Structure 1
Amino acid sequence: MLKHRLITALILIPLVIAALFLLPPLGFALVTLAVCMLAAWEWGQLAGFAARSQRIWLAIICGFLLALMMLSVPAYHHSVHPLQISGPLWLSLVWWLTALLLVLFYPGSAALWRNSRPLRLFFGLLTIVPFFWGMVALRQLGYEQNPFIGAWWLLYVMLLVWGADSGAYIFGKLFGKHKLAPKVSPGKTWEGLFGGLVTSAVISWLFGRYVPLNVAPVTLLFCSVMAVLASVLGDLTESMFKREAGIKDSGHLIPGHGGILDRIDSLTAAVPVFACLMLLVF
């Protein structure tokens, strides 16, 4: 299993970085749209759709919705302020605060949505649509002045989340004693969370020192901490939905890593929260 995970990671990481820096905004948006369609396909299982045909339709409808939203934004408009972009980003803050309450009060909170397929589908939209626009908004940031500014920002957020995840795993294995959310994900500990924050702080310092992000250090620190905490919440939220669905992995598309949602669950929360704070709040 570990061998498969390492091989897959060595293949996927260069592909992700290449997509960030080599694809134009439209090409990157289309690749992100395809990833979101695969995520919607997997979310169908979390929402209670057992039939393959139902989940295919769910993926198609999700892709159609995102495409319509893209087409409604003028091609020359690279601002984050159109309602099609800013609306989902603001909504992401509301959703992840709500998800925090659902996780904190689980399993009691599950009584509110456990038997409601439409509500679980709605939760999926609140997860996938803001993630899409967070990715797109950050990638097109400052594109007219420098086509790589947005790519550096996205790489920063991804490294922040991956670093926090790795730091949490290592610190949790070495020092983990106090469970973070035992009813949702028994393997996560407070020591692991602290280790993840320390690791992400080092990454943030290195990026701020050697990469021209051009942002006030205090702003970067606050947005980064919020993004890391959101990434943990995104992981816990998906674990909660998988626990209710009675499944271990959201899918089997990535050898050794499970499904698409299993790989991007942290990013689905971190990216839109970071984008909203950085681009709309600050």
Structure 2
Amino acid sequence: MLKTRIATAIVMLGILLPVLFLLPPIYLSGLFFLVLVAAAWEWSRLIAPNASYAAYFYALVCAMIVLFLGLFAIPSVEIALLSIALAFWLIGMPMILSQGIHLSLLRWRFIFSVLGFIILPTAWLSLDVLREIGLWWLLSALILVWLADIGAYFVGKSFGRRKLASQISPAKSVEGAVGGLVLCLMYATACAWYFPAGDTLFGASQSKWGWGWMLLMTVILVAYSIMGDLFESQLKRIAKVKDSSHLLPGHGGFLDRVDALLPVMPIAALFSIMVRS
């Protein structure tokens, strides 16, 4: 299993790295587009397991929304979509998480269907906004999410004792979450200390707001990366499946790989707009 996981990760990096560093930004937008369309297909399969053909239609509608955002770039539409997504992540998601696994998928199916049409295209839009600011600006936000996951995994596996959310995700521990947070705080500090201020979100935040606010921003982003992971785990628990799909051997599905990015990217985009205003 571990060998399969590593092999899949190597293939994904083999695709991602050349697109990041060797090709024009439009190719990265296209790669994000494909990933989020696949995630939309998986999202539909989670909320409506017995409607397999409907998942393709759902993914098509999400693709059309993303294409509309990319082709027409209407600021008022983008701001409205981003605002709705942020309102959900900041207010709605914690309320849903507080319900644990006691949600009825039948009753919540319509709400989750609408949510998918908002949060998935908004994730693509946020990634695109961050990339327009700069490649390293985008990478600084992405790496934070990856480090939060890596730190939580290894610290939790070694020292985890207290469950973070036992009903939703029994494998996650408080110690793991703290370990991921500490690693991310060290990373954000290194970004602000060693890189030019305008190159990364953390350097720019420290330069404008100071160390305290930059570290608080980092804590917020890490907290929402954890909650994004838990939110997808909650949905899988309600749907009674282990993974969103089997498209990525050893990793589950694309939604399993981007779940933490879904809330973090819009919030990072908001912080970016604030720090650059």
Task: Provide TM-score, normalisation by structure 1.
Answer: 0.87
Matched, 1:277 2:268: no
| Cα distance per residue 1:56-106 (max 9 Å; x no partner) | 1111111011111222217xxxxxxx2233333322321112111111232
SS of the residue 2:259 aligns to: helix
Cross-structure match for 2:201: none
Q: 1:67 to 1:174 in 2, by over 3 A?
A: same
Matched, 1:134 2:152: no
Determine whether 1:250 maps to 2:234. no
- Following the alignment from structure 2 to structure 1, what is the Cα–Cα distance between the partners of residues 129 and 138? 10
CA–CA distance in structure 2, aligned partners of residues 20 and 71 of structure 1: 21
CA distance in 1 between counterparts of 2:176 and 2:66 reads 36
Aligned to 1:146: none
Which amino acid in structure 1 is aligned with residue 64 of structure 2? F
Specify the alignment match of 1:95 in structure 2. Answer: 88
SS of residue matched to 1:187:
strand
1:43-82 equivalence runs, <5 A = 43-73=43-73, 82=75
Write the deviation string for residues 259-281 of structure 1: whole angstroms up to 9, x where unpaired. 00011111111111111122247
- Measured in 2, the distance between the counterparts of 1:20 and 1:280 equals 25
In the alignment, is residue 216 of structure 1 matched against residue 200 of structure 2?
no
Q: Structure 2 CA distance, aligned partners of 1:30 and 1:174?
A: 38
Residue number among 76, 80, 84 corresponding to 2:77 in the alignment:
84
AA aligned to 2:129 is: A
* Structure 2 CA distance for aligned equivalents of residues 212 and 85 of structure 1: 29
**In the alignment, is the contact (CA less than 8 A) between 2:188 and 2:218 conserved in 1?**
yes
Q: Does 1:262 align with 2:256?
A: yes
1:231-262 deviation digits (Å, cap 9, x = unpaired): 10110000000011111000111111010001
Give the root-mean-square deviation of aligned CA atoms: 1.9
Paired position in structure 2 for 1:169: 153
Name the counterpart of 2:31. Answer: 31
CA distance in 2, matches of 1:40, 1:86: 21
SS in 1 for 2:48: coil
- How many residue pairs get matched? 265
Does the Cα contact within 8 Å between 1:45 and 1:245 map onto a contact in 2? Answer: no
Pair 1:225–1:13, CA change in 2 (3 A): farther
DSSP-derived class of the 2:260 partner: helix
Kindly state the Cα deviation for residue 201 of structure 1 after the two structures are TM-superposed. 1.2
Q: Does the aligned pair in 1 maintain the 2:37–2:59 contact within 8 Å?
A: yes
**Are the structure 2 counterparts of residues 104 and 209 from structure 1 closer, same or farther at C-alpha, using a change threshold of 3 Å?**
same
Q: Which sections of structure 1, spanning at least 5 residues, go unmatched? A: 75-81, 142-149
Give the structure 2 partner of residue 241 of structure 1.
Answer: 235
- Looking at structure 2, the residues matched to 224 and 21 of structure 1 have their Cα atoms a distance apart, in angstroms, of 25
Counterpart-to-counterpart distance in 2, 1:55 and 1:186: 28
The answer to whether 1:118 aligns with 2:107 is no
CA distance in 1, matches of 2:21, 2:196: 15
Q: Secondary structure at the match of 2:172?
A: strand
Residue 147 of structure 1 aligns with which residue? Answer: none
Taking structure 2 as the reference length, the TM-score comes to: 0.89
Q: Contact 1:230–1:269 (CA<8 Å) still a contact in 2?
A: yes
Preserved contact between residue 20 and residue 155 of structure 1 (Cα < 8 Å): no
Match of 1:144 in 2: none
